[in-house]
C-alpha cells in the first residue's frame, strides 16, 4: 500500500515516475482522440489501425538491420508502424468506399490480414541471429521495463501535438460526427476531416505502442470517451472529461503496477479505465443504469397513482396490486380499498383538473401547450394561475365527486 | 460528355441552354445512379429566384437525390449545377440546407443552441470565438421557429417537430439566400407544420428563395407557388397555377395515383 502511495506521489524511483507521467500523458491524448472516433460511430476503426501497426514494426526492424543499423531503434520502429497503420487505414477506407462491403467487414478483413502478416514477420525475426533479443513482442502488450527518458519525451511531444490538433479541429470534427451531410453542404471536406481524425488516432496508437501495446491501446482510445458520455450532454465536456479520465487511468494504473512488480502496466491501466466505466455505467445521473431504473420506478408509481385516483373519481374498483399498494401507502385508501377523506379530496382535485384540461383543449389555440396533455402533467405546470381561473369560470361551479 | 456540356454553357447562354445566372438553383443534364440504375436521368431544372418551390414526385422518384446531388452530397454521373449562376463551391455561403430529420443521431451530446451555432461555422471557422452577437443570432433564429425556451435542452429530449424546427433554425442562422429543405414536413405535428410554413413565407417575403422536397400533394397549391415534378426524369416545371395539373400529375405518378384522389386535388385547387 505504501508502495502504491509512493508511486502515486512519484517517489517510487526514476523509472516508475517516468512511466506514470508517460502513461498519464498518453491516456489524456488517447481519451481526447478517441472521443471523436466514438461520436462518429467508428470506434472499431481504431482496432484495425492498431493491429495494422504490427507488420510495420517487423518490416522497420528488418530494414534497419539490412542497412547495418541497430534494429531496435524506437524512432525507426515507430515510423514503420505508422506507415503500415496508415496503409491499413487507407485500405479500410478504400474497401468501404469502392466495394459493396460495409466498413465493419473491411475492418475485420484488414485487421486480421495485417495482424497475421505482422505475427509471421515477428516469428521470422526471432529465428534470425540479429533478432535474438529484439523484444518486438513487447509491442503487442506493452512493456515499461526499459522505459527511457527519450521514450517519455516522444509520448509527451506526440501527445501534446495530438491534443493541440484536436483543439484546432474540434468544430469541423463535431460537425462531421453529428451531421456529415450538412457539413458537406457547408463546404466542409468530410473525407479530409475523417482522415485527420484517423490520423490523430493513428498517432496516439503509435506513441502508445511501447507503453500499453497495440492490443490494449484501443481500450484507451474508446473507454474514456464512452465513460465521459455518461456524465454530460455536451461535446466539449465529453472531450476534456475523456482526456482527464484517460490521463487518470494511465497515472493510477502505472502507479499501481509500479507498486507490485508482477503487475503488467498496460493491462492494469485498461482495467482502471474499465473500472471507471463500470462505475459510470451504474451510478451516472440521468444516463446511468441505476438512475434510469429509479426514474422508471418513479414514473411507474406516478402512473399507477394517477390511474388509481381516476378510478376513485369514477367509483370503479381497483384491481392492480401495485396501484392498491401505492394508494394505501399514501393513505389515500383504507386497507379494504375504500377511499379516505384525503383520497376523495385528491380525486376531486384531479377530476376538476381533467375538466380544466378539456376546456383548455377546446378554447386554447396554442397546440404546443395543449399538446402537453398526457394524463400526468399537472395543469399548473402548463398554464398560469390566471388562465386556470379563466378555465374555471367557463366550467362553472365545482361538482361533488366520488361520493 | 462533361466537356460538351461545359462548352454548351459557355457559348450557348443566349440560346437558353446554359444556366440562368439569376436562378438560385439551375441543373443541367443531372444524372445520378446507385449502381447501374439511374435514380435521376438527365434532369434539367431552373428554379426561379424569390419563389417557394416544391419538388414533387412519387416515392423513389429521386426528389431527395436531386437536392443531395445538387449540393454535392452524393456523386453524380453527369451534370452541371449552378447556384446564382456560380459553381456550387463558390456559392456555399448563400445556401442553407435542412436535411431530413432522420439523417442524424439525436442522442448526440449537443444542445439546441450548439446545433443552431453549427449554422455559423462558415463565419466562425476554426478559431473565431463565439461572440455575444453570434449567440444573439442563434437565439433570434430559435425565436423565429418558436423554440426560444429550449436553448439549453439536449436535442434528444425534443419531439420530432421540435427537432425539425431546430434544423430550420440552424439554416436560418446561416443568413443564406437559398434554402433547400428535404421533406421538412415529414412526421411533424400540425403546429410545427404551420410554424415552418410561416417561416418559409417570411423568407420569401424577404426575397429569399426556398426549394423543398414535398410529398403531400394536398398542400402543394396552398404552400408553394412553383413546382417541379420529377420521376427519375424531369416531368414538368413551372408556376403551381399552370403546372400542377391533373394531367401532369398523372404523367408523373403513372398508375400510382388513384383517379378519385386526382379529382379531390383538382377540387382543392379550384
In chain A, what are the domain boundaries? Answer: 2-280, 290-395
Question: Which residues in chain B have their CB less than 8 angstroms from residue A181's CB?
Answer: 68, 73, 97, 99, 103
Identify the band that residue B113 occupies on the pLDDT scale cut at 50, 70 and 90.
very high
User: Lowest-confidence range among A127-131, A241-245, B51-55, B64-68?
Assistant: A127-131
Q: What DSSP state is assigned to residue B59?
A: T
Q: Which CATH architecture has domain A2-280?
A: Orthogonal Bundle (1.10)
Residues of chain B with pLDDT > 90, as a percent, come to: 59
Distance CA A188, CA A335 (A): 67
Smallest CA–CA separation between A76 and chain B, in Å?
A: 34
- Say what the pLDDT of residue A245 is: 97
Report the C-alpha gap between A187 and B90 in whole angstroms: 9
Sorting pLDDT into bands at 50, 70 and 90, what band is B267? Answer: very low
| Nearest one of A287, A205, A291, A276 to A246, comparing CA atoms | A276
pTM to 2 decimal places: 0.85
Averaged pLDDT, A252-275:
89
Query: Do the Cβ atoms of B103 and A184 come within 8 Å?
Result: no
Residue of A nearest to B120 (CA): A186
**For residue A361, is pLDDT > 70?**
yes
Residue A313 is predicted with a pLDDT of: 85
pLDDT at B263: 55
Q: Residue A232: which of B109, B114, B126 has the nearest Cβ?
A: B109
Q: Give the span between the Cα atoms of A175 and B59, in whole angstroms.
A: 29
User: Within its chain, how far is the Cα of A184 from the centroid?
Assistant: 26
pLDDT higher than threshold 50 for residue B268: no
The CATH number for B2-269, chosen from 3.40.50.300, 1.10.3720.10, 3.40.50.1000, 3.30.56.10, is 3.40.50.300
Report the Cα A2 to chain-centroid distance in Å.
33
- Model ipTM? 0.87
- C-alpha dihedral over A92, A93, A96, A99, to 10 degrees? -100
Preferred mutation among A172, A178, A370 to probe B, highest tally of B CBs within 10 A: A178
Digit-coded pLDDT (tens) for A305-327:
888 888 888 888 888 889 989 98
Could you give the angle at the alpha carbon of B31 between the alpha carbons of B25 and B33, nearest 5°? 125
Q: Is the separation of the CB atoms in A111 and A51 below 8 Å?
A: yes
Write out pLDDT tens, residues A264-296: 888 999 999 999 999 999 999 888 999 999 999
A42 lies within 8 A of chain B by CB: no
Average pLDDT of chain A, as a whole number: 88
A interface test, pick of B109, B153, B155, B213 with most A CB neighbours within 10 Å:
B109
Considering CB atoms only, which of B95, B104, B154 is closest to A179?
Answer: B104
pLDDT at B19: 60
Mutant choice from A227, A233, A286, A377 vs B, greatest count of B C-beta within 10 A: A233
Is B87 in CB contact (< 8 Å) with chain A? no
Residues of A within 8 A of B73 (CB-CB) are 181, 184-185
Count Cβ–Cβ pairs < 8 Å, chain A vs chain B: 79
- Output the pLDDT for position A331: 87
Nearest CA in chain B to A41: B105
Mean pLDDT of chain B: 86
Pick the residue with more confidence: B9 or A305?
A: A305
- The C-alpha of A366 sits at a distance from chain B's nearest C-alpha, in angstroms, of 8
Amino acid at each position: 500500500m505504501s508502495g502504491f502511495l509512493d508511486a502515486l506521489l512519484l517517489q517510487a524511483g526514476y523509472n516508475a515516475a517516468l512511466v506514470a507521467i508517460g502513461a498519464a500523458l498518453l491516456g489524456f491524448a488517447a481519451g481526447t482522440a478517441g472521443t471523436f472516433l466514438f461520436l462518429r460511430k467508428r470506434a472499431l476503426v481504431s482496432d484495425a489501425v492498431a493491429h495494422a501497426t504490427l507488420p510495420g514494426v517487423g518490416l522497420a526492424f528488418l530494414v534497419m538491420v539490412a542497412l547495418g543499423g541497430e534494429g531496435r531503434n524506437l524512432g525507426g520502429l515507430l515510423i514503420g508502424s505508422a506507415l503500415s497503420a496508415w496503409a491499413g487505414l487507407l485500405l479500410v477506407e478504400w474497401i468501404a468506399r469502392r466495394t459493396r462491403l460495409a466498413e465493419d467487414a473491411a475492418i475485420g478483413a484488414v485487421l486480421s490480414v495485417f495482424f497475421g502478416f505482422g505475427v509471421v514477420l515477428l516469428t521470422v525475426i526471432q529465428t534470425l541471429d540479429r533478432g535474438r533479443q529484439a523484444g518486438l513482442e513487447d509491442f503487442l502488450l506493452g512493456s515499461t521495463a526499459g522505459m527511457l527518458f527519450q521514450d517519455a519525451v516522444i509520448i509527451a511531444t506526440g501527445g501534446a501535438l495530438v491534443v493541440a490538433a484536436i483543439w484546432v479541429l474540434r468544430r469541423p470534427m463535431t460537425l462531421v460526427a453529428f451531421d456529415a451531410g450538412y457539413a458537406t453542404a457547408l463546404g466542409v471536406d468530410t473525407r479530409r476531416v475523417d482522415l485527420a481524425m484517423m490520423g490523430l488516432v493513428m498517432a496516439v496508437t503509435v506513441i502508445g505502442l511501447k507503453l500499453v501495446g497495440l492490443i490494449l491501446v484501443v481500450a484507451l482510445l474508446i473507454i474514456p470517451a464512452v465513460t465521459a458520455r455518461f456524465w454530460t450532454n455536451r461535446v466539449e465536456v465529453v472531450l476534456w472529461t475523456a482526456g482527464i479520465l484517460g490521463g487518470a487511468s494511465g497515472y493510477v494504473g502505472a502507479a499501481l503496477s509500479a507498486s507490485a512488480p508482477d503487475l503488467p502496466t498496460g493491462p492494469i491501466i485498461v482495467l482502471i479505465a474499465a473500472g471507471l466505466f463500470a462505475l459510470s455505467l451504474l451510478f451516472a445521473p440521468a444516463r446511468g443504469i441505476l438512475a434510469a431504473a429509479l426514474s422508471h420506478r418513479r414514473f411507474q408509481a406516478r402512473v399507477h397513482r394517477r390511474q388509481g385516483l381516476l378510478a376513485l373519481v369514477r367509483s370503479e374498483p381497483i384491481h392492480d396490486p401495485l396501484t392498491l399498494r401505492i394508494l394505501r401507502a399514501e393513505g389515500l385508501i383504507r386497507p379494504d380499498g375504500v377511499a379516505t377523506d384525503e383520497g376523495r379530496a385528491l380525486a376531486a382535485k384531479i377530476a376538476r383538473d381533467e375538466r380544466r384540461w378539456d376546456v383548455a383543449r377546446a378554447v386554447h389555440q396554442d397546440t404546443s401547450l395543449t399538446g402537453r396533455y398526457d394524463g400526468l402533467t399537472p395543469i399548473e405546470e402548463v398554464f398560469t394561475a390566471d388562465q386556470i381561473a379563466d378555465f374555471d369560470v367557463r366550467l362553472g361551479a365545482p361538482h361533488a365527486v366520488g361520493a | 460528355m462533361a466537356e460538351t456540356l461545359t462548352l454548351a454553357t459557355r457559348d450557348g447562354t443566349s440560346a437558353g441552354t446554359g444556366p440562368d445566372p439569376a436562378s438560385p438553383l439551375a441543373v443541367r443534364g443531372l444524372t445520378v445512379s446507385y449502381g447501374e440504375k439511374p435514380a435521376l436521368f438527365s434532369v434539367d431544372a431552373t428554379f426561379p429566384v424569390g419563389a417557394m418551390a416544391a419538388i414533387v414526385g412519387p416515392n423513389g422518384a429521386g426528389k431527395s437525390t436531386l437536392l443531395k446531388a445538387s449540393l454535392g452530397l452524393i456523386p453524380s454521373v453527369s451534370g452541371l449545377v449552378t447556384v446564382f449562376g456560380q459553381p456550387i463551391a463558390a456559392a456555399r455561403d448563400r445556401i442553407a440546407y435542412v436535411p431530413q430529420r432522420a439523417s442524424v443521431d439525436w442522442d448526440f451530446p449537443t444542445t439546441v443552441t450548439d446545433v443552431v451555432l453549427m449554422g455559423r461555422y462558415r463565419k466562425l471557422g476554426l478559431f473565431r470565438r463565439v461572440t455575444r452577437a453570434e449567440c444573439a443570432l442563434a437565439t433570434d433564429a430559435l425565436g423565429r421557429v418558436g423554440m426560444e425556451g429550449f436553448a439549453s435542452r439536449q436535442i434528444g429530449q425534443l419531439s420530432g417537430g421540435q427537432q425539425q424546427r431546430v434544423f430550420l433554425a440552424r439554416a436560418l442562422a446561416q443568413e443564406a439566400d437559398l434554402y433547400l429543405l428535404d421533406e421538412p414536413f415529414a412526421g411533424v405535428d400540425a403546429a410545427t407544420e404551420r410554424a415552418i410554413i410561416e417561416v418559409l413565407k417570411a423568407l420569401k417575403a424577404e426575397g429569399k428563395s426556398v426549394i423543398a422536397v414535398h410529398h403531400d400533394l394536398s398542400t402543394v397549391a396552398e404552400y408553394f407557388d412553383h413546382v417541379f415534378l420529377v420521376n427519375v426524369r424531369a416531368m414538368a416545371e413551372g408556376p403551381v397555377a399552370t403546372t400542377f395539373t391533373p394531367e401532369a400529375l398523372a404523367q408523373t405518378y403513372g398508375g400510382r395515383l388513384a383517379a378519385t384522389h386526382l379529382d379531390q386535388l383538382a377540387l382543392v385547387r379550384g
